[in-house]
Structure 1
Amino acid sequence: VPETLFLCGNLIDRFLSARVVSLAKLQLVGITCLFVAAKVEEIVAPSVAHFLYCANSSYTYLRQPECYVLKTLDWNLSYPSPMHFLRRISKADEYDVKARTIVKYFLEIQCLEWRLLAAPPSLIAAAAIWLARLILGQDKWTPNLAHYSSYAESTIIPTANLKKIICNGNIIGSGNDRRKGV
């Protein structure tokens, strides 16, 4: 599920913020964090063998690295992912399936952008909804959307600009011209 991806990214980020890891062990950290995230979020988590296979059988164990990651994070696995906020904002958007599909794309590609690491997940979700609505020609940020997202349109635009840069290198302007060329 998408929550697994977001939790995994968060675990990796928090772990690497706490520990220095050699390049040789970076893949092990990633696989271990994905394994932990899958155990938390998935109904039926893949087996250890699947994760070891993804690592080209470079490792034969995950129990020790899993314990090390969990101890480093002080067993704190909670993370409000952008998907949680998307569900809330979608109430104001009447659960538009097309918009949600585009939003999920924006949420996934933002995982590759280091400049969005510091942005709160709620802002990431709101900016993704804003861009998706813009693409679908629903360019009005309603008071209802502002209420459910907790963000005014002017607050969302800088993050949306960054998401747009990630997608195609263009920057959305300000005012009415920001809707051109999307």
Structure 2
Amino acid sequence: MAVSNIDNSAPIAQSCDIYMEEIRNHMEHMENETLPDLNKINSQPEITWFMRHYLLDFLVEAHQSFQLSPETLFLTVNLLDRYCSICIVPNSHYQLLGCVSLLIAAKYCDKKNIPTTKELETIYCSLYNKEMFKKMEWDVLNVLEWRVGNPTTECYLQIFLTEGFDKAEVEYIARYICEVALYHKQFVSTKPSVMARASVALAGFFFDHRDFPGLDYVENPTLLALLPYLYNISEVLKKKYYSYSFS
């Protein structure tokens, strides 16, 4: 008895489409749920954007020193800003909050390269002790209701890069643009998906890849708003990317 050719791929493809739709919906929901509030951060009585700039410099250096994943840096800043969107942070605890945000993000994203509290104490010249780190970590997790994970800008970068580009330099420049944006309050409440798509489109444009899927409907205000900041870069971030070379 001959076996007829039956295409079993259609049901599988439909199932995949359903799952992908559910995943996208969940990511969109979590993206909205974990977005920092610019106005709330603006109302901090002791914390200024000038202070935040220097804290981010420190976090970028610490992140690089511990050889953590790109996603960890974006999650670190998200945790920092979300906490500042909810609680008043004393000036004396702002650096501690940043350091603990890095620790939590590393535990969530890196697993193997998690810095120890001893290492964190060292980079702060023993300004904060183990108990202070532990107490702040517990406080951050409780305030954020243990919602640590979120679809970061790095997560969306990887999604959008697979849609149109396979060149390392485009990924490099896109991530660089996203990290530049971390420093500026204008982008604190910008959705990671919006930032990632604008950065990938802009990076592709720099390399004359103008056929990126979605370039026509990319959020133009975000893309245009990014341009001026690419000429006003943190020295720490500049140093981080200066030595990079394409193989």
What TM-score does the superposition give when structure 1 sets the normalisation length? 0.83
Residue-by-residue CA offset, 1:51-100 (whole Å, 9 max, x unaligned) = 12222210112111111111111111021101111111112224221111
Name the CA distance, whole Å, in 2 between partners of 1:95 and 1:5: 23
Q: Relative to structure 1, is the Cα distance of residues 51 and 153 closer, same or farther in structure 2, using a 3 angstrom cutoff?
A: farther
Give the equivalent residue in structure 2 for 1:175.
none
**2:111 aligned counterpart, secondary structure:** coil
- Among 222, 225, 228, which residue is 1:159 paired with? 222
Q: Which runs of 5+ in 2 are unaligned?
A: 1-68, 233-247
Asked whether the equivalents of residues 108 and 149 of structure 2 are also in contact (C-alpha less than 8 Å), the reply is no
Instruction: State the 1:154 CA deviation.
Output: 4.5
Q: Relative to structure 1, is the Cα distance of residues 153 and 51 closer, same or farther in structure 2, using a 3 angstrom cutoff?
A: farther
Name the CA distance, whole Å, in 1 between partners of 2:218 and 2:210: 16
Q: Which runs of 5+ in 1 are unaligned?
A: 147-151, 170-182
Instruction: State the 1:131 CA deviation.
Output: 0.8
1:20 aligns with 2:88: yes
- Among 95, 98, 115, which residue is 1:46 paired with? 115
- Among 102, 107, 111, which residue is 1:34 paired with? 102
Residue-by-residue CA offset, 1:20-67 (whole Å, 9 max, x unaligned) = 011111111111111111111113211111212222210112111111
Give the equivalent residue in structure 1 for 2:136.
65
**2:95 aligned counterpart, secondary structure:** helix
Amino acid at match of 1:166: Y
Asked whether the equivalents of residues 103 and 125 of structure 1 are also in contact (C-alpha less than 8 Å), the reply is yes
Quote the sequence identity (%): 25
Asked whether the equivalents of residues 31 and 55 of structure 1 are also in contact (C-alpha less than 8 Å), the reply is no
**1:13 aligned counterpart, secondary structure:** helix
Amino acid at match of 1:164: L
Give the equivalent residue in structure 2 for 1:83.
154
Name the CA distance, whole Å, in 1 between partners of 2:144 and 2:231: 36
What TM-score does the superposition give when structure 2 sets the normalisation length? 0.62
Name the CA distance, whole Å, in 2 between partners of 1:27 and 1:117: 18
Asked whether the equivalents of residues 131 and 160 of structure 1 are also in contact (C-alpha less than 8 Å), the reply is yes
Give the total of aligned pairs.
Answer: 161
Larger radius of gyration: 2
